[in-house]
Structure 1
Amino acid sequence: MNIFQATPGVQLNATIKTSLVGASLLLSACSGNYSGGPAPDGGSGPGTPGAPSKTVQEFFGKSVKTNMNFCRTCHVPDGVADTDEGKLFMLSANSSEDYDNVYKSWIALDKGVETNKILTNPSDPAQHHSGGQPWPVGSQPYNAMKVVLGCWDNPDNCAALLAAGTTTPVTSEFPLLGSARGGHLWDDFCVDKPDNTVLPDDPRTLVVPGVNKNKAVYMNAWWQTCQEGNKPANCGEQRARVARGYPIVASAGQVGAGSFFSGSSSTSSYSFPAADYAGMWDSVLSMSARPDNFDDLIAQRWGMPLSPTRNPYPLAGEDPNKTNGGSGQLPMGVTQLRKADGSWTGNLNVTCSICHGGGIGSASDGPGLGSVYGTNSLSDITLMFTDLSRLAPQQSALAIIAQNKVRGTGNITNFQLFGLLTISEITTIPGYLSIQTQPSTGTEDPPVWWNVGHRSAKFFDAGQVTDAKRIELSFHFPNTPFHTDMAADKKWILDHQQDSDAWIASQKSPAWPENKLGKINTALAEQGAILFHSKDLWSPTLKNTVPKPPGGNGSCASCHGAYSPRYVNDTAYLDTPALEGIAANVVPIDVIDTDRRRLDGNSAMVATYARQDWFAYSDGEKNADGVPLCGDWNDKSLRGDRELGYLAPPLYGVWATAPYFHNGAVPTAWDVLKPSDRHSIWRRWSNTARPDQTSQVMGFRYDLAAYDNQNLGWKYDALACGVTGTTPYIDCNPADAAPTIQDFLNLIYANGGLVWNLANLPILTNAQAEDRKIYNTRMYSQDNGGHEFTSVLTDQERKALIEYMKTL
């Protein structure tokens, strides 16, 4: 998550006041804490200078000039410190001018030594320096600059100061830019290492009470171990787990692919013949003949990219076992079932990629791009199940129960539905019926998988710890809801959870494709790195109207974690560099203030029900109150004094995760950082149908030409109330804030969660499918408010932060 004030009560004359107010922004680029970790080369720097400097200019060149490179990041023309006030301390691109420029600044800032803002701003927390406190009192930069200022202030004593100052070496610093791009430490650690290499500990297990106490990055979402055998013995075992987990989760025609309520079985009561799927050109698309682009049309209609690997099904007249599965290509959310001997069955079933498969550009745009596992914001799963209900009646239940109201979102953690997984366990039925009176969790945009390895808790509200792995395979839970052998069905999950989790956590975010979206402005990104990790958004002079959250330094990193190598290796930010990129801060709802329906839906009654649920480890270790330690962490008995709120996510690959917020209500990062620019009704750009197929429903564009590289998000159109798909006074109001029928419906959904799912008009026409592309923030659970604390940023600071986020 996320700078300066004169001492209260002190009256200043105009000249001094101007100097001090201006100095509030000084040195915002002088970042990095010199008490941090070892130098990048493993040493302590270039060592002690030799003979004492004869002049202050010589000393400046030896002991100060290098430090000015840090300040130069922002204090240059067009940098974030190039403001009316910041000009009191301004460097140039030419480092040979540093001595003269610093001297001019010293004069402008009323001279002196310890009281001069050149020293106090970057060393005294009370100054609320945008760049943090990179020059702690006693550090090399502080002491060296103190010598220089002392020589200027008292030339007669300069020789003695220079002699004493020669013992201070210049400290080497880590770079400002760098990213692990998510994934898990173990997979990175094992690159090029032999199989018998012993693994380090999982850094997420360090997130326990007391971690990072009084540090810049705040953590309160504690790790909890839920089962034995989490840590493989060595790199070979870790690689084997990832390899076994791939077919279970990716589910793209492999032997052992997981599928809807069927485990990894080659048979399923939910499957349907490939011939019926292949015939949807008639039954669903209402076309006169099978089109040459049938596979792409289905992928477009459902918002599910075609699988990145071969994922075949047989066409009419094809024998799948004579055509290696068939010549058709399935979208990511569907797989053809196979027997253990590798033979194809000709039957299809859906997979977890209906919610967790998406697309970012094309494979030719760069590594990791194209069809991507573990991200979405594209699919319309209710439309998909509606279409499938015409092929297979057993799929119709999920057509009647709305899984989403808006394309690109889901309602995947709605406990009103979730309890159906174990409804056959008769003891849970009374509790399950009682939670139908609780609010629906509503619209959600599934979080990306490439950040799982840097999260101590899962779900937007940190409702379960990350090690609660059972839930990850719930969509594949065999034989739901008709468990004739519940023990065997649960065993399938227990047998596969470690492998599936290992593959999910191994996923990496795609790097910013400079060849397609433009080169990153490194100088601006470095400014953003400093602001991201150091700028206190609650500095008194900013007058932030949002309550200040507990802990941390008030910066973006305080909630979202540290990523820059400079700060990762700074003990003022993290206890250990192993905590790089880990985000474990549940931000109180009164601070984050984003749509609270997701939070309200996991109420105290739901928490009580969860105590009985096997997926919430009702059979696991319990606390003194009898509450499962791997259960619902919104349960007061587990969370203790931690306020309810939303978990700030890690930001690896954040450029590729738009739209933003847990409900996908904000289309670009710029809109996140500048709340006043948000729109009430908007719609992402869609693909254009071929001239001979204009009646077909096309999906959202995810080619990079539809990406907004300035604002970081997918291009969209702001819509007015009354455009096609919105009905004034029902869906929206021309006066915007005035009441609508939706406000009345919101009261119903907030007091009966299942109604949100059942009050679902069947999708009978293409026009209805098109209307589901409109994001209306007046509808239940789709509010786009919150994150208002970033309103105090300047536009130049927003540009710098966005440029930095491109590097993550």
Structure 2
Amino acid sequence: MSPPLRSAAALALAALLLAGCGSAGNYDLPAEPKPGGGDTGAVKDCATLFSTRVQPRLDYCRTCHVPGGLGDVPDGRLFQLGSDRAQDAAKLKASWEALGGAASTPSRILRMASGTDTRSHSGGAPWPTGSAAYVEMAALLQGYVDPAACQLGGGGGSVEEQPLLGSARGGHYWFDFCAGQPDATPLPADPRSLIRPGVNAGKAVYFNAYWKDCHADPALVGEEPPARSCGELREFAARGEALILGNGATGAGSFFAGTDTDGFLSFSADTYASLWKKWGLRARPDNFDRLAAERYGLSLSSARNPYPLPGEDPNASDGGSGQLPTALTQLRAADGRYSGSIGVTCHACHSGAAGGDAEARNAVLGNGNSLSDFPLLLNETGLGLNLPGAGSLSAISVGKTRGTNNALALQIIVLLTLDAQLSAEAFQFFFTAPNGGSLDAPAWWNMGHRAVKFQDGFLAMDALRSDLGFFIPMMDAPIPFDTAAATAWVRAHARAGDTYLMSLKAPAYPLAVDRALAEQGAILFHAKDLWAAGLDNPTPRPAGGNGSCASCHGVYSPRYAHDPAYLDSPALEGQASYIVPRDLIGTDPARVDSDNEAAEVYGKKDFFAYPETVGGPEHLDCGPQNRSELRGSRAPGYLAPPLYGVWASAPYFHNGAVPDVWGVLDPNSRPAIWRRLSAPARADQQGQVVMGYDSDLARAYDPARLGWKYEALACGVGGALPYVDCDPGDPEAPTLLQRLLSGIHGNNPLLWYLPTPPLMTSAEIERRKIYNTLAYSQGRQGHEFSRVLSDAERRALIEYLKTL
């Protein structure tokens, strides 16, 4: 074909594709009218085509294809740009020639960017075949042979791309929407309600767990409907903050007390103020409040949270002169009078610390608390249980290792409402199911970006009652127990509590970020197919999505959130609702296995599982979501969580087995037995007090690995006991004792909670800081598909995750 005929054919093809596809995989780009009418979008020459349509898109390529970037590899150097945009035209043409020029049609530049080359492209397919980006680049490259090919009609104005970096930092969209809006402003639809069967079909992000509206009939469930205006949203959140955060507010709730001032698990301020006696000290230390927070793994906040010291009248001293950690609150009567009683709040497990000076931990509200040693607090306060042996309540072990817990024990949740019923499912549920074992509490600030809750999606996110499961009032004693009154209290407070939890935002990463490297990581996170040809990924490919990190964890970058190849709507930004099959994700199976079919069938009768909705339309059925009649062919597994604030959420996996993000991305680097660093004691108190995990960023945080620093322990060194914690002959294998315990815990859900060594000595408290991945439910395996990443790619991904 002669050059004129080739250029005419290229022009005709470009015009046809532009007319039929618009901007396909990118954005709608309307033409700008000429002054006085007419179309200014027609491109008349190659220089204009380059400057207005092609060069803006080269900034995406420039992210990696520059010296020192991820594209600076032998193959990638055939297409290189630089920091000086004035050289782009020359460098693009030189790259085209290096890749075969006119002899290679379509050019490998187009084949790689459209995903049609036989080699994988870490940058994905930013210019899909038929998109405006593809057609215009094709015309420009043809223009190197015949300038007439650059003449395109209807091109529009200059391309404007969305940024690669940017994050909502979690919370719920409604709170961002209402910022600065009058109270009467109506709320838009809940973005989570878009996650329905069929959503994002064939697109880069995959969903297989869906939104259920538990409150379609508020009269049926007896709870307040969601807020309808910004004013209602704020009112609910304020009420919920007083309830759940506490800090001595009127209306504060506490464990098993509702808003009562003398629930049977509350204890007196005098008991708390005198705990130093149980620590073996001779006198009350001047920094008692800080030491209590350190010992029990709690966080101190700058917000006032008072309690009365011995001899103080709390109502004559504005609550008292002491400062409680965030997880405790002094309880008040409805008229505002302080009671002098202290209750425990949900923040014991859900608010940790990231950063802090020598005198206090800075509370991070809504984070999973990886500091906590709740059994120790239970042991030393007795939590108001004046029963024989109450001083040794650590025998009821809600956590084997400091920083983990099993608050979501399904059997305990059911027993809270005393609706156990005899049946075959009940026997299997209570006596033969596996125990879920150690869990790392997920961050509350992600609740606005999930359709289901808990690590395995056990309940619909709109099943609000479970948020207050440990606040259910049991009054002065567990027997007699007024079930009707207790459940009515939960119904009356569920909406306010949930709205407060949804309002919480992840803290911004406080250290420096390499933005150029983070942008490379943003591309990898959203576009790199971990199962692409030549990578030989060791795990099976997931059922949907584009094979990237975003495919499971959701889209965060504005560039990709507005790309219809990724999301049906930008409103789905940050939404993660893919339950990855147990054997595909490969992480420790104890939690998933504990939620077996018997648990699901029996659990659908429980108050917290909205039995009123069970048996109705499937899209409104808020019972346990993993029962076979609802999940169908979807295999049980773990929900890939949203990643807002991931920098502050170490350690990782549902059981907290991996200390940093580098270990998540590089399975070979995960330690078998490890211990986080402890905060240094004050010079005059060294050797006399127990200190918690160090949360000082400068001293204890590792920005390169994205997690808290730790020490890997060899068998028999640093408290790892031979033949109990490890086998000196085979340090990677569980000991005989561990294998026996795994057999017991894997076939009975209750025995895991029974006797652990009493926490009587500082040595025993220190041993609880050791995380042993060889123990039951604490395995570090899984996420094997990230083995295909290079170290350079891991560094870029980590830098990007800092921005979320």
Instruction: Answer yes or no: is 1:711 the counterpart of 2:705.
Output: yes
Contact 2:108 2:117 in 1 (8 A): no
Contact 2:662 2:794 in 1 (8 A): yes
Q: For residues 485-524 of structure 1, what are the structure 2 equivalents within 5 Å?
A: 485-513=482-510, 517=511, 519-524=512-517
Q: Cα distance, 1:631 vs. partner? A: 1.8
Cα deviation 1:764-795 (Å, max 9, x = unaligned): 11110000001110011111111110110111
- TM-score normalised to structure 1 length: 0.90
Aligned to 1:129: 121
Instruction: Answer yes or no: is 1:197 the counterpart of 2:194.
Output: no
| One-letter identity of the residue aligned with 2:572 | L
Distance 1:35 1:426 in 2: 55
Instruction: Answer yes or no: is 1:649 the counterpart of 2:641.
Output: yes
Q: Which moved more, 1:224-233 or 1:662-671?
A: 224-233
Say which SS state the counterpart of residue 393 (structure 1) adopts. coil
Instruction: Answer yes or no: is 1:761 the counterpart of 2:757.
Output: yes
Contact 2:436 2:591 in 1 (8 A): yes
Instruction: Answer yes or no: is 1:212 the counterpart of 2:212.
Output: no
Q: Cα distance, 1:500 vs. partner? A: 0.3
Cα deviation 1:463-502 (Å, max 9, x = unaligned): 1110111111011101174353211110100000000000
Say which SS state the counterpart of residue 151 (structure 2) adopts. helix
Q: Which of 155, 162, 165 matches 2:150?
A: 162
Q: Which of 66, 88, 106 matches 1:115?
A: 106
Aligned to 2:351: 357
Q: For residues 412-423 of structure 1, what are the structure 2 equivalents within 5 Å?
A: 412-423=407-418
Aligned to 2:8: none
Cα deviation 1:17-64 (Å, max 9, x = unaligned): xxxxxxxxxxxxxxxx8634457xxx668996678655x456433432
| One-letter identity of the residue aligned with 1:335 | T
Distance 1:620 1:315, change over 3 A: same
| One-letter identity of the residue aligned with 1:506 | S
Q: Cα distance, 1:555 vs. partner? A: 0.3
Say which SS state the counterpart of residue 753 (structure 1) adopts. coil
Distance 1:58 1:356, change over 3 A: closer
Distance 1:313 1:266, change over 3 A: same
Q: For residues 240-319 of structure 1, what are the structure 2 equivalents within 5 Å?
A: 240-282=235-277, 284-319=278-313
Distance 1:485 1:365 in 2: 44
Q: Which of 446, 457, 462 matches 2:441?
A: 446
Aligned to 1:536: 529
Aligned to 1:469: 464
Distance 1:785 1:434 in 2: 27
Aligned to 2:586: 593
Distance 1:712 1:44 in 2: 45
Distance 1:722 1:44, change over 3 A: farther
Aligned to 2:625: 633
Equivalenced residues, count? 762
Say which SS state the counterpart of residue 321 (structure 1) adopts. helix
| One-letter identity of the residue aligned with 1:122 | A
Q: Cα distance, 1:170 vs. partner? A: 3.7
Cα deviation 1:748-775 (Å, max 9, x = unaligned): 1101121111132221111100000011
Distance 2:54 2:424 in 1: 71
Distance 1:44 1:132, change over 3 A: farther
Aligned to 1:19: none
Distance 1:543 1:795, change over 3 A: same
Contact 2:375 2:397 in 1 (8 A): yes
Instruction: Answer yes or no: is 1:335 the counterpart of 2:344.
Output: no
Instruction: Answer yes or no: is 1:385 the counterpart of 2:378.
Output: yes
Contact 1:424 1:482 in 2 (8 A): no
Aligned to 1:24: none
Q: For residues 576-615 of structure 1, what are the structure 2 equivalents within 5 Å?
A: 576-615=569-608
Aligned to 1:235: 230
Distance 1:785 1:561 in 2: 23
Cα deviation 1:219-278 (Å, max 9, x = unaligned): 011111112354312111111000100111102211110011010112322222211211
Q: Cα distance, 1:801 vs. partner? A: 0.7
Distance 1:726 1:529, change over 3 A: same
Distance 2:506 2:32 in 1: 34
Distance 1:311 1:103, change over 3 A: same
Distance 2:594 2:32 in 1: 54
Q: Which of 727, 739, 742 matches 2:721?
A: 727
Q: Cα distance, 1:425 vs. partner? A: 5.8
Aligned to 2:738: 742
Cα deviation 1:659-693 (Å, max 9, x = unaligned): 11001111111111111111101111101122332
Instruction: Answer yes or no: is 1:676 the counterpart of 2:671.
Output: no
What residue ranges of structure 2 are gaps of 5+ in the alignment? 1-22, 219-223
Q: Which of 311, 315, 323 matches 1:321?
A: 315
Aligned to 1:12: none
Contact 1:465 1:630 in 2 (8 A): yes
Q: Cα distance, 1:424 vs. partner? A: 5.9
Q: Which of 170, 182, 185 matches 1:182?
A: 170
Contact 1:360 1:372 in 2 (8 A): no
Aligned to 1:145: 137
Say which SS state the counterpart of residue 540 (structure 1) adopts. coil
Aligned to 2:368: 375
Cα deviation 1:586-629 (Å, max 9, x = unaligned): 0111211011111111112211220221111223342589x992
Instruction: Answer yes or no: is 1:69 the counterpart of 2:62.
Output: no
Q: Which of 449, 458, 470 matches 2:453?
A: 458
Aligned to 1:616: 609
Contact 2:353 2:695 in 1 (8 A): yes
| One-letter identity of the residue aligned with 1:265 | D
| One-letter identity of the residue aligned with 1:440 | N
Contact 1:363 1:371 in 2 (8 A): no
Q: Cα distance, 1:448 vs. partner? A: 0.5
Q: Cα distance, 1:171 vs. partner? A: 2.4
Distance 1:536 1:159 in 2: 36
Q: Which moved more, 1:521-530 or 1:414-423?
A: 414-423
Contact 2:561 2:567 in 1 (8 A): yes
Say which SS state the counterpart of residue 557 (structure 1) adopts. helix
Aligned to 1:13: none
Contact 1:682 1:774 in 2 (8 A): yes
Distance 2:127 2:303 in 1: 52
Contact 1:428 1:613 in 2 (8 A): no
Say which SS state the counterpart of residue 345 (structure 1) adopts. strand
Say which SS state the counterpart of residue 150 (structure 1) adopts. helix
Cα deviation 1:114-160 (Å, max 9, x = unaligned): 432111111235654222221122333222221222133x3xxx243
- TM-score normalised to structure 2 length: 0.90
Say which SS state the counterpart of residue 524 (structure 1) adopts. helix
Cα deviation 1:162-215 (Å, max 9, x = unaligned): 334684644211111110000011111111000110000101011110011111
Q: Which moved more, 1:558-567 or 1:87-96?
A: 87-96
| One-letter identity of the residue aligned with 1:372 | L
Distance 1:525 1:221 in 2: 30
Distance 1:219 1:782 in 2: 27
Distance 1:433 1:477 in 2: 26
Contact 1:416 1:440 in 2 (8 A): no
Q: Which of 66, 78, 82 matches 2:72?
A: 82
Distance 1:214 1:263 in 2: 46
